[in-house]
């Protein structure tokens, strides 16, 4: 047995066998045109770097619909795309919403592009919106977008990520299949009472069949340093999140925010910018999840 496989086995023994296998593991920002400010490679797609230990990663469509079929097909050749469709639905207080003329036109373009790509819709996670409550996107608009996805593609999977809010979560939309929330600077979610309380409150609004996606804190910022974390210590953070995921019967998978640095600002390091020991921990976790499926 090779050293890498042995390390993965040791990790599984340390954390225990999951009650049920997680479905997916991957990252935000992988195929989103992000130029990581912490290297000078000029890369804007990182799928090759996470190949082999991920099976679901974020894909952001370009501004040119003519490019969408190739983007979708190229991504799907390597992983299940977590495809960001928020821009298609004209969200927001000033927007007409998913049933408006603008959204209907954009959705028709997307449907044509997906058909041309040859990728089955069942391969996609339709990422409806990012932190919609915090950004003022009405809940009914998000729910309607999910309904449109399911009406068009009955086998499609919808996903939504909210931001942690001390006031508590709003009701999880009925049309969302995979729901999660992000919070950063938490060393171990199992030991953070507010983390568990927020998750429990969200669960009370979910219906049978809806699942949790655990957002892995995979970046490092000055905020993390202020919280007492170190770059090297993010390996232990990743292991803590994985252990937490295995202990939750309704957690379906993990998405790390984020693989490249600079998704939100130039002070934000991604997992690929952290020490080799951190990247090794992420790879071991990803391989363990894929091997257990």
Tell whether the model's pLDDT for residue 235 goes beyond 70: yes
Closest CA to 170 of 210, 139, 129: 139
User: pLDDT band at 20, cuts 50/70/90?
Assistant: low
Q: What is the mean pLDDT of the chain?
A: 93
User: pLDDT band at 18, cuts 50/70/90?
Assistant: very low
DSSP result, 180-208: EEE--S-S-GGG-HHHHHHHHHHHTTPPT
CATH numbers and ranges of domains, the chain:
3-292 (3.20.20)
**154-200 confidence digits (pLDDT tens):** 999 999 999 999 999 999 999 999 999 999 999 999 999 999 999 99
Tell whether the model's pLDDT for residue 98 goes beyond 80: yes
Token pair 């977590």 in the structure block, residue: 82
Interatomic CA distance for residues 141 and 131, integer angstroms: 13
Length of the chain counted residue by residue: 293
Q: Is the dihedral of CA 125, 198, 135, 101 positive or negative?
A: positive
């Amino acid at each position: 047995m090779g050293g890498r496989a042995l390390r993965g086995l040791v990790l599984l023994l340390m954390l225990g066998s999951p009650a049920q296998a997680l479905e997916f593991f991957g990252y935000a920002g992988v195929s989103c045109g992000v130029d990581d400010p912490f290297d000078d490679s000029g890369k804007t797609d990182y799928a090759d770097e996470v190949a082999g230990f991920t099976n679901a990663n974020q894909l952001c469509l370009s501004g040119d619909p003519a490019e969408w079929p190739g983007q979708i097909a190229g991504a799907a050749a390597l992983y299940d795309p977590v495809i960001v469709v928020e821009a298609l639905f004209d969200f927001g207080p000033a927007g007409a919403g998913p049933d408006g003329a603008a959204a209907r036109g954009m959705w028709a373009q997307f449907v044509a592009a997906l058909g041309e790509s040859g990728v089955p819709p069942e391969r996609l996670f339709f990422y409806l919106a990012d932190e919609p409550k915090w950004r003022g996107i009405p809940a009914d608009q998000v729910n309607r977008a999910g309904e449109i996805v399911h009406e068009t593609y009955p086998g499609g999977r919808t996903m939504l990520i909210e931001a942690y809010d001390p006031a508590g979560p709003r009701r999880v939309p009925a049309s969302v299949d995979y729901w999660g929330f992000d919070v950063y600077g938490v060393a171990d979610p199992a030991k953070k009472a507010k983390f568990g309380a927020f998750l429990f409150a969200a669960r009370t609004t979910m219906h049978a069949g809806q699942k949790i996606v655990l957002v892995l804190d995979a970046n490092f910022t000055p905020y993390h340093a202020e919280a007492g974390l170190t770059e090297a210590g993010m390996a232990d953070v990743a292991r803590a999140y994985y252990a937490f995921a295995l202990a939750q019967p309704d957690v379906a998978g993990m998405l790390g925010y984020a693989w490249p640095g600079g998704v939100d600002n130039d002070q934000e390091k991604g997992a690929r910018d952290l020490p080799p020991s951190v990247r090794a921990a992420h790879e071991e976790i990803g391989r363990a999840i894929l091997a257990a499926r």
